[in-house]
Structure 1
Amino acid sequence: MMQNSQRLTVLLTVCGALPFYLAQLPVLDEATRLYAFLSYGAVIASFMAGTLWGLVQARERPPLSAIAISNGFALAAWASLLMPAGRLALAVQAISFIGLLATDRSLLSRALEKSWYFALRLRVTLLVLAAYGLALLTFA
């Protein structure tokens, strides 16, 4: 049976993918939608990098590589906002989401791979990457 905190985590995680799709609805001009998409992507990638940072810091001996990698992903998200809005910025963010998932899997724990949380992360990352694929078709 799923605990309340687990249910809430699933709900918030899945709902967190919705703005990637909502930003692509043609209710505003294309430049505004692309900016909304990229800014939300940068926020979420930075949030995930911060989550990684926190998980790593909780270890008795945090791996230095994971600390550096979490900062690298946050900086990549920020840098994507400094680029001209378009394919490169979208690609940087999409690659960051792939990298964050891979880092969770490889640097934190193989046990994480078998957890309900990792299964959720994998599914939602795939949803987000599908939104980036759609954005590459829509905005470029």
Structure 2
Amino acid sequence: MTRLSDIPRAPLALGLAGLIPFVWGALTVIDPALQAWGVQTLGPRFVGPYVMLFYGAIILSFMSGVLWGFATKAEEQVAATGYALSVIPALWAFFMTGGGPVWAGASLIAGFVGLLGLDWLFWRYGLAPAWWMTLRVLLTAIVVICLAVGVLA
């Protein structure tokens, strides 16, 4: 596996920046004063589990598009399988994030862990860059930890 230093700067920086809503949401679950400030300043949708759940569903959908792009590099049956697999994260987010914040958070955790498996599959077939799994493991670990804070709070 590659090292963090092998990941191009733009994907690493953008990937880390994409963690901000998850980290912010987890911090506002842990710190009531920060949550109160966030509600007053940003509104209730942008704190606690709510920001993590809404943003998590968006990111799973975005990652479906990333996987679809990887599938375009394949041919015939591998491409068809890649296209079919690539829609799973978006469908998961659509169908599995109802039922309240605990259920939705647990479903998103499962969705991101499942996405990591799809990332590995696309990477294993040479459709993703060599550094892909190093980036995805890091980002997924942080996302899952943050969502777990919301689920377990």
Q: TM-score with structure 1 length normalisation?
A: 0.81
Q: Tell me how far apart the structure 2 counterparts of residues 103 and 63 of structure 1 sit (CA, whole Å).
A: 14
User: Percent of aligned positions with the same letter in both sequences?
Assistant: 28
Match of 1:137 in 2: 152
Larger radius of gyration: 2
State yes or no: 1:28 paired with 2:44.
no
Counterparts in 2 of 1:8 and 1:90: CA distance versus 1, 3 Å:
same
**1:35-91 CA distance string (max 9 Å, x none):** 32211001111111110111012212234333222212201112244x133221111
Picking from 69, 74, 84, the partner of 1:68 is: 84
**Gap regions ≥5 residues in structure 1:** none
Q: Tell me how far apart the structure 1 counterparts of residues 95 and 125 of structure 2 sit (CA, whole Å).
A: 30
How far did 1:97 drift? 0.9
Match of 1:7 in 2: 9
125-134 vs 18-27, greater mean Cα deviation? 18-27
Match of 1:44 in 2: 59
Match of 2:21 in 1: 19
Q: TM-score with structure 2 length normalisation?
A: 0.75
RMSD, matched Cα: 2.8
**1:94-118 CA distance string (max 9 Å, x none):** 1111111111212442557993221
**Gap regions ≥5 residues in structure 2:** 29-34
Aligned residue runs from structure 1 range 76-91, under 5 A: 76-81=92-97, 83-91=98-106
Aligned residues: 135
Counterparts in 2 of 1:108 and 1:67: CA distance versus 1, 3 Å:
farther
Kept after mapping to 2: 8 A contact 1:49/1:74: yes
Counterparts in 2 of 1:126 and 1:53: CA distance versus 1, 3 Å:
same
